[in-house]
Structure 1
Amino acid sequence: MVKPSRLALNYAERLFEAAAERERFLAALFVPQPLPPAILWRQDPPTPSPFPVLPPLPWQPPWVSRLAVGTRAGQHPLHQAGAYYCLDSSSVFAAVPLLSLPPSPKLVIDVCAAPGGKSLLAWRALKPNYLLCNEAIPKRLGMLISNLKRCRVHPVGVTCCDSADLAATLPQTAEVVIVDAPCSGQSLLAKSQTAEGCFHPLTLRHNQRRQKRILAAAAALVRPQGWLLYSTCTFSREENEEVAKWFSAKYPQFIPQTVPQLAAYRSHLSELPCYRLWPQQQEGAGAFTILWQHQGEGEPTPIPELSNWLCWQATTDAVEAADLSAASADNP
């Protein structure tokens, strides 16, 4: 057992009043148990499933499957064929607010897209006319493009821009904007991974400043009556509820929206309708999510020609669909 640091102990006290809940939270991080993997199917899941499937969670969309612990879905031929994308259930949880939005938006922008999980969730849930995936860090572009290619996502374009430059280029153009923000990554501990300094106040303040800057740029991308989704994979109030409170105060035209599917997961740390998945619930490593709608006035900006500043794009499904019926039951 890894002993929690004093910073972690102090932080747990800020999150939970009850000692028993603090102990469960810390145990989930410092004595982590294996979590069921999940897969996002590009098309309807095959019947019968090639994997042992767990009962669905209340908020789980039908095109996501939770698999038995230890299932190695990433080694199955269907994975290489692009039939599905492997992810943690927490990523699905954070994207659940998208399920309530009108389908077929003209433009969806994922501001912090790599490695591509939220982009694929938005593409599968909304079927946008165009999906724009931005990643500001050049070394992360390869994994993003590889996943989009393998899963044959289209029509899609990839850019490598700072969020402020993206906002200056595409002001008030997108019906849906996603900010899965860089964060301290505290939920990595629940996956038996490391996250150095993830409870340190300097780390939290640094991430909070960065998240506010990205959210301010993302707000400029949203057209009137459009939607902005903010999510993280960390637990700190500084990076979650406090960022949401700051944004709602600074941009009152953005109205936070309730998400009925997540009513049982509403955060006890804010009056705003934001939602938490805690690692001790054993439904995923952990996530935070909040959805706003831009209810201000104004005309949307026409979408400009994008091809000149894209790193990569796919306009048609150039690869034949995987033959799901030919899937084998297991592939060690």
Structure 2
Amino acid sequence: MPLPSTAKPVLKLSRLAVACADRLFETASDRERFLEALATPAAYPPTVLWCGEPASPLPFEPLPPLSWQPPWVTRFAAGSRTGQHPLHEAGAYYCLDSSSVFAAVPLLTLPPAPSLVIDVCAAPGGKSLFAWRSLHPRYLVCNETIGKRVGMLIGNLKRCRVHPVGVTSWDSAVLAAEFRGTADVVIVDAPCSGQSLLAKGQKAAGCFHPLTIRHNQQRQKRILAAVTALVRPGGWLLYSTCTFSREENEEVAAWLMTTFPQFVPQVVPMLAAYQSHLAAFPCYRLWPHQGEGAGAFTILWQHQGKGDSCPLPALGDRWRWQSTSQPA
């Protein structure tokens, strides 16, 4: 169960949140546990991704690893000020939450050293760092459409000494046109209604409203429809969100497989116990009432169709920022 928190007030949930729970769970007990996790947010342990070898000794009290947690990710006891430690400023680690780690776990099943990884919605950089740390790609492209978030992304890449990497700030359709057929791995941590923010005690106004959900679903489909063109034959596409609605998760996944049948969902053995009960195909859910994180959805596809593979384009001065050499 989630760790108890006395610092967060009990939230009053809307009828739309209750209706969402009704669509997600068949049993009353599951619905009640889910809604309780949203109404009484838990103090989830601070989590860090080590950019190199973990520090010895560790700067805070570590917690036992979760079954799907890679060895270069550490959870610390609640109250650990990971973002204020000198190791953070020095770029030894990146602070994230366990739900973000869960969503990226399918990358651990892929062959190492891919030629090119593209993170389509990269800011603030957590999934990019996970891909860089786990796969050691020959080149990493981090794209962020929202201009005001690009500085944050570049700052984290610099601080954590990520290389070689290039940053772009393009719409997904432009990105697809520029990098068509180049990527071994494409990551889409999609913009979503952000319903899991409630489980962290944060605000997410209107996150259960049908119009909000429909708007995000349409945006997710548009992004995915564009970036399928990025994936080389034999390459992989990872899709994830931090929301609960079926419309933004299983339904988007089903739509993609109907529209682009060359993308075949992949089993992730490490997440077998987290298979979504809302789908017959391999996809995975982390629920807030499981006590391991605020919530996430993730699915990995492989491009098993035909097509052309293309070399990385020469963008010249069109990069927003680029680092190609080993940092000092």
Partner of 2:92: 83
In 1, Cα distance between equivalents of 2:116 and 2:96: 24
TM-score computed with the length of structure 2 as normaliser: 0.96
1:55 maps onto 2:64 in alignment:
yes
Distance apart, 1:298 and its partner CA: 2.5
Secondary structure of the corresponding residue to residue 184 of structure 1: coil
Cα deviations by residue, 1:145-203 (Å, 9 ceiling, x for unpaired): 01001000000000000000010111110000000000000011011100000000000
Cα deviations by residue, 1:186-237 (Å, 9 ceiling, x for unpaired): 0110111000000000000000000000001110000000000000000000
In 1, Cα distance between equivalents of 2:11 and 2:148: 32
Instruction: Please list, as runs of the form range in 1=range in 2, the aligned pairs for 1:112-123 lying within 5 A after superposition.
Output: 112-123=121-132
Partner of 1:43: 52
Distance apart, 1:30 and its partner CA: 1.2
Q: Please say if residues 282 and 299 of structure 2, whose CA atoms lie closer than 8 Å, have aligned partners that are also in contact.
A: yes
1:226 maps onto 2:265 in alignment:
no
1:295 maps onto 2:304 in alignment:
yes
Deviates more, 1:295-304 or 1:144-153: 295-304
Amino acid at match of 2:308: E
Amino acid at match of 1:5: S
In percent, how many aligned pairs have the same letter?
71
Deviates more, 1:205-214 or 1:29-38: 29-38
Q: Structure 1, unaligned stretches of length 5 or more?
A: 320-332
In 2, Cα distance between equivalents of 1:88 and 1:285: 8
Distance apart, 1:315 and its partner CA: 1.2
Secondary structure of the corresponding residue to residue 87 of structure 2: helix
Cα deviations by residue, 1:54-109 (Å, 9 ceiling, x for unpaired): 00000000000011111111000000000000000000000000001010111100
Partner of 1:74: 83
Q: Please say if residues 187 and 238 of structure 2, whose CA atoms lie closer than 8 Å, have aligned partners that are also in contact.
A: yes
1:8 maps onto 2:26 in alignment:
no
Instruction: Please list, as runs of the form range in 1=range in 2, the aligned pairs for 1:170-189 lying within 5 A after superposition.
Output: 170-189=179-198
Distance apart, 1:266 and its partner CA: 0.3
In 2, Cα distance between equivalents of 1:215 and 1:159: 18
Pick one of 197, 201, 204 that aligns with 1:195: 204
TM-score computed with the length of structure 1 as normaliser: 0.95
Q: Please say if residues 163 and 327 of structure 2, whose CA atoms lie closer than 8 Å, have aligned partners that are also in contact.
A: no
Distance apart, 1:304 and its partner CA: 1.3
Partner of 1:20: 29
Partner of 1:322: none
Secondary structure of the corresponding residue to residue 316 of structure 1: coil
Q: Which runs of 4+ in 1 moved over 3 A?
A: none
1:210 maps onto 2:219 in alignment:
yes
1:260 maps onto 2:269 in alignment:
yes
Q: Please say if residues 11 and 38 of structure 2, whose CA atoms lie closer than 8 Å, have aligned partners that are also in contact.
A: no
Distance apart, 1:19 and its partner CA: 0.9
> Considering only aligned residues, what root-mean-square deviation do their CA atoms show, in Å?
0.8
Partner of 1:325: none
1:160 maps onto 2:169 in alignment:
yes
1:277 maps onto 2:283 in alignment:
no
Pick one of 304, 318, 321 that aligns with 1:309: 318
Instruction: Please list, as runs of the form range in 1=range in 2, the aligned pairs for 1:232-251 lying within 5 A after superposition.
Output: 232-251=241-260
In 2, Cα distance between equivalents of 1:105 and 1:238: 32
In 1, Cα distance between equivalents of 2:305 and 2:43: 45
1:134 maps onto 2:174 in alignment:
no
In 2, Cα distance between equivalents of 1:69 and 1:40: 16
Partner of 1:150: 159
Cα deviations by residue, 1:231-263 (Å, 9 ceiling, x for unpaired): 000000000000000001100011100000000
Distance apart, 1:301 and its partner CA: 1.0
Q: Please say if residues 49 and 94 of structure 2, whose CA atoms lie closer than 8 Å, have aligned partners that are also in contact.
A: yes
In 1, Cα distance between equivalents of 2:219 and 2:113: 31
In 1, Cα distance between equivalents of 2:71 and 2:300: 21
Distance apart, 1:132 and its partner CA: 0.2
Count of equivalent residues: 319
Deviates more, 1:237-246 or 1:21-30: 21-30
Distance apart, 1:303 and its partner CA: 1.4
Distance apart, 1:20 and its partner CA: 1.1
Amino acid at match of 1:149: K
Partner of 2:5: none
In 1, Cα distance between equivalents of 2:82 and 2:326: 24
Distance apart, 1:35 and its partner CA: 0.5
